[in-house]
Structure 1
């Protein structure tokens, strides 16, 4: 017996297939380079920078992690990881505190808001140059005075990973965290806090047991923004890291000097860490949701 034909009104229009093809091409364009770099990084010792592949091994990864390559990937990796985690924590904490502060109007709040998000508009390289210049001026003005008091070395430099570098990365991550928290707190129902206060909760208990669980999924998103934006940042790091380089800066430097798949192995490592953080954050979010469901009282 012949199958019933699909009713004409339920058939997908031709535009659906055209859009599906366009989306497929977009995905290939977006992730094709990543797949290419990942594939070419697993070549043998005689591998090159283009296809076809010459062998299949972990040679270039071993070369990187053993310190035998052009880059000391271990040191650069530790610097980027430490900076990324510091930016993560500070972005979450400052964003939450700012969100709580902006729940009530105060004089100058509008101007402060626009100043806080202005760094999203200014080109990253300009921000990097401005921060580097600011720290050099501080060195020229303050360091001689501190040196005369025996508190600093007159020949030192304030540019570094956790001084100017940290400030440059926070100028990139904080606006995203602030915008997310402002949107969250604007939609937060204050009746929950009022009910907690009526039951005798203090301000800290109201925040810890009422507000924090409600905004926790968004804090995970802010943490993800903070780490990944810091981990991959190049433009704002270029002038502010002083004598040290982060992993993305090492990768950028290698693009003009290295002619072996070592650069692909480094790119694969950086990408792997980014995806690990993303999927780890998603797993934490799902685990948090599952825990909240199990703690809810069952009906009936």
Structure 2
């Protein structure tokens, strides 16, 4: 006989359903409102379904466009990802051994996470002004994003290496492998899933960042800043279409990374 489920089960199931709806409800709403015909509007009910506004994303808007800001965000996110992953891996390797002042360095590294984002943006702008350097989306924007992504990547890689078994490295050194060969042939393949995950996280954090770039972007905007600026003058579902396309782009990045890692793992096994 099957045991009868208690009322607590249905209560928790309903709570979980509301939780999922809270997470994905806004995204689903954006998807639906972006798939409208030329007569579509910004609110329900949907008048007609179509892909008209998805195509309008690639056209010139009333003020500005989405293509160039997307290219800036893509380039900035890729650079932030590469620098964050590289620096985080090297820093976490250094922290595997205790050194004098390591605790102070650790807390200084992650301290930017507790500072309000708008203050980080304001502080970077003031520093650039003091040194007479013009702020723009690339230089000052890169610095602002790294204050956000680098500590997070560093914390994750610290956790990865805390669970790493050093006996693999010791065996490689006993067999005469130099340090660089040990890292590239032993350590890196073992931590590759974490490195890929950290890279995707850093790219996403940079690609979506708004507050830390808001005061130091200069003349040209990244995609989040451009979308925010257009909310006052673009009164069409094109804004929703941008959200749909950027979400699909993020999912495609995850899929590409997964396929790439699967091929890499297969090659390693062979």
- TM-score of the superposed pair, with normalisation by structure 1: 0.85
2:66 to 65, 73, 86: 73
Is the counterpart of residue 36 in structure 1 residue 12 in structure 2?
A: no
Greater Rg, structure 1 or structure 2?
1
Does the Cα contact within 8 Å between 1:197 and 1:206 map onto a contact in 2? yes
The aligned runs of 1:44-55 (5 Å cut-off) are 44-55=37-48
1:257 Cα deviation (Å)? 2.4
Q: CA offsets per residue over residues 210-239 of structure 1, 9 Å max, x none?
A: 111111111011101110000111011101
Matched, 1:258 2:234: yes
1:237 correspondence with 2:230? no
User: Are residue 63 (structure 1) and residue 56 (structure 2) matched?
Assistant: yes
RMSD of the alignment, in Å? 1.7
2:107 is aligned with 1:114: yes
- Alignment partner of 1:85 is 2:78: yes
Whole-Å Cα distance in 2 between the matches of residues 105 and 97 of structure 1? 14
Q: In structure 1, what is the Cα distance between the partners aligned to 2:11 and 2:255?
A: 31
Q: Which shifted more, 60-69 or 74-83?
A: 60-69
**C-alpha contact 2:62 2:234 (8 A) present in aligned 1:** no
Larger relative contact order, structure 1 or 2 (CA cutoff 8 Å, min sep 6): 2
Structure 2: runs of 5 or more not aligned: none
2:100 and 2:203 map into 1 onto residues whose CA distance is 32
Instruction: Describe the SS at the equivalent of 1:236.
Output: helix
Matched, 1:227 2:203: yes
| Residue pair 1:42, 1:59 contacting (<8 A) in 2 also | yes
| Distance (whole Å) between structure 2 residues aligned to residue 270 and residue 71 of structure 1 | 18
What per-residue deviation string (whole Å, max 9, x for no partner) do you get for residues 247-283 of structure 1? 1111111222222112111222222222222333344
Give the count of matched residue pairs.
270
Contact 1:232 1:248 in 2 (8 A): yes
Aligned to 1:191: 167
Report whether the alignment pairs 1:135 with 2:131: no
1:163 aligned to 2:139? yes
Tell me if structure 2 keeps the 8 A contact 1:63–1:69.
no
Q: 2 CA distance for matches of 1:283 and 1:17? A: 38
Alpha-carbon deviation of 1:18?
Answer: 1.2
1:178 maps to: 154
Residue-by-residue CA offset, 1:89-133 (whole Å, 9 max, x unaligned): 111100011011111122221111111111111111111111111
